[in-house]
Amino acid sequence: MSTKPLPPVADEATWRKQLDELRAREKAATRELDAIAAQRRRLPMVRLPGYTLRDAGGPVRLVDLFRGKSQLITYHHMWSPGEEWQCPGCTGFTSQFWKLDFLDGYDARFVIVTQGEIDEALAYKKRVGNAMDWYSTAGSPFGADVGAPAGGGFAINVFLRDGDTVYRTWHTDGRGCEQLSHTFPLLDLLPYGRQEEWQDVPDGWPQSPTYTRWWSSDRYAQYGS
């Protein structure tokens, strides 16, 4: 006999009726996300100055991060100078993205930008087996200007290039970044969900403090290369 709490057992007709009701809400949420995306495409944009970042080869202009593409997504990786293992949330989030060449067909790139010095950042990329391209904004106001200052949190930004002019079109941080992730949507499909104490669950459902079930950065490194 299971000692875990279980959902109630129902006949097929009852289950199907309640599933159909839930699916109606899910479809409505999908249509709302479509409407949000349509509004996002109609946002104005802000012209940016000519920032200089760094990659493995040295200084690189922000416009060069596009590599000829017209659209760019940047994930701003939290950074603690001198630490062997960086933010597990950022490490785990960016570990999901491997085959990003499909963006070529959409005239876009997706890269990591961090406040860490470039040599340290690239060493960490190798240590954890990260597949994305990394750039450093150390010594540049770029990170702070787009919502990811040194010592600050993580963020996602989107940019559009017109010739050598770069515009900022969108920004999010916190849980707004979840929409790019597959991990949380997978967990949210499960009967027990994320099992974090902030979630609305039936009485007796397993719950733990937030982050306690997350992998550590060194564990990602074990499977990253």
Domains of the chain: 46-177 (3.40.30.10)
Find the mean pLDDT for residues 172-178: 95
The pLDDT of residue 4 is above 90 = no
Question: Cα separation of 56 and 163, whole Å?
Answer: 24
82: left (phi over 0), alpha (psi -120 to 50) or beta: left
Question: Cα separation of 33 and 152, whole Å?
Answer: 28
CB 70 within 8 A of CB 161: yes
Share of the chain above pLDDT 70, in %: 98
3-class DSSP state of 21: helix
The pLDDT of residue 29 is above 60 = yes
CB 114 within 8 A of CB 79: yes
CB 77 within 8 A of CB 117: no
The pLDDT of residue 225 is above 60 = no
CB 161 within 8 A of CB 71: yes
Question: Cα separation of 47 and 164, whole Å?
Answer: 11
